[in-house]
């Protein structure tokens, strides 16, 4: 066991853990953050996705000792209870079905939009293609992301039209 200090969602946490322990286990079991899910445990489904250093990372295959920078989980994207624009779009498009994959969908989309607020439809499809959904919510995921892109939320030019985001991907 080693003492490992992590920065998560703006806070600092020190845990006793084996250095090879998956980051996912620390987030869920030690820090009580239930946003990231255990799906495959093999880095293949995306349910466990968190953002590390601006990138979408599969926490089930990320040794906790390898994490040197701030970790953002689903809980960290809605500070003070204010929904992230993606979460709002998810509600408006009624994206989830069973919901199990949705952490991965939202966190993967957030990492994409943080780097590129105006992805093309093809870029959205390509980025989201590796985050699996057994309920086949993929089209609604893409439409919700497009809604955020069309609204221009990242640029502060929000379009309140209910139809915003439906073009092309609906
Ligand atoms: S649980 Fe991590 S990729 Fe599936
Ligand atoms: S909503 Fe059920 S797995 Fe995606």
Residue-level pLDDT at 100: 98
pLDDT tens, residue by residue, 18-30: 999 999 999 999 9
Q: What tokens were used for 118?
A: 């105006």
Residue 145 CB burial class (10 angstroms; 0-12, 13-18, ≥19) = buried
Residue 164 has pLDDT above 60, yes or no: no
Please tell me the distance from the alpha carbon of residue 77 to that of residue 135, in angstroms, as a whole number: 24
Please tell me the distance from the alpha carbon of residue 128 to that of residue 15, in angstroms, as a whole number: 32
Q: Shortest CA distance to 103 belongs to which of 22, 38, 18?
A: 38
Residue 160 has pLDDT above 80, yes or no: no
Could you tell me the pTM of the whole model?
0.90
CATH of 2-77, one of 3.90.1150.10, 3.40.640.10, 3.10.20.30, 3.40.50.300: 3.10.20.30
- Percentage, residues of the chain above pLDDT 90: 86
> Which of 49, 97, 138 has the most ligand 2 atoms within 8 A of CB, as the residue to mutate?
97
* Sign (positive or negative) of CA dihedral 154, 155, 160, 162: negative
Q: Is 113 in the pocket of ligand 1 (CB under 6 A)?
A: no
Q: What is the mean pLDDT of residues 102-127?
A: 98
Pairing mode of beta strands 49-52, 2-8:
unpaired
Residue 15 has pLDDT above 50, yes or no: yes
Specify the 3-state DSSP secondary structure of 42.
Answer: coil
Lowest mean pLDDT among 107-121, 123-137, 148-162: 148-162
Residue-level pLDDT at 153: 75
Assign 3-class secondary structure to 6-39: EEECCEEEEEEECCCCEHHHHHHHHCCCCCCCCC
- Determine the distance separating the centroid of ligand 1 and the alpha carbon of 151, expressed in angstroms: 31
Q: Is 132 in the pocket of ligand 1 (CB under 6 A)?
A: no
What would be the CATH architecture of the domain defined by 79-155?
Orthogonal Bundle (1.10)
Q: Enumerate the CATH 3.10.20.30 domain ranges in the chain, comma separated.
A: 2-77
Q: Enumerate the CATH 1.10.150.120 domain ranges in the chain, comma separated.
A: 79-155
Q: What angle do CA 104, 42, 97 make, to 5 degrees?
A: 35
* Whole-number Cα distances in Å, 46 to 56, 72, 99, 152: 9, 15, 13, 26
pLDDT tens, residue by residue, 32-68: 999 999 999 999 999 999 999 999 999 999 999 999 9
In this structure, the residues whose C-beta lies within 6 A of any atom of ligand 2 are: 96-102, 133-135, 137
Q: What is the mean pLDDT of residues 76-83?
A: 92
- Determine the distance separating the centroid of ligand 2 and the alpha carbon of 141, expressed in angstroms: 11
């Amino acid at each position: 066991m080693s003492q490992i200090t992590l920065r998560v969602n703006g806070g600092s946490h020190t845990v006793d853990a084996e250095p090879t322990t998956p980051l996912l286990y620390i987030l869920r079991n030690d820090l009580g953050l239930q946003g990231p899910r255990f799906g495959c445990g093999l880095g293949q489904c995306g349910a466990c996705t968190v953002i590390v250093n601006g990138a979408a990372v599969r926490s089930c295959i990320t040794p906790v000792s390898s994490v040197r920078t701030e970790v953002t989980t689903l809980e960290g994207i809605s500070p003070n209870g204010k929904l992230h624009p993606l979460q709002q779009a998810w509600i408006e498009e009624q994206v989830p079905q069973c919901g199990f994959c949705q952490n991965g969908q939202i966190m993967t989309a957030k990492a994409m939009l943080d780097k590129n607020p105006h992805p093309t439809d093809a870029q959205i499809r390509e980025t989201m293609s590796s985050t699996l959904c057994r309920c086949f919510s993929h089209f609604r995921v893409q439409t919700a992301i497009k809604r955020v892109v069309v609204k221009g939320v990242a640029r502060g030019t929000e379009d309140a039209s209910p139809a915003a985001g439906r073009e092309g991907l609906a």
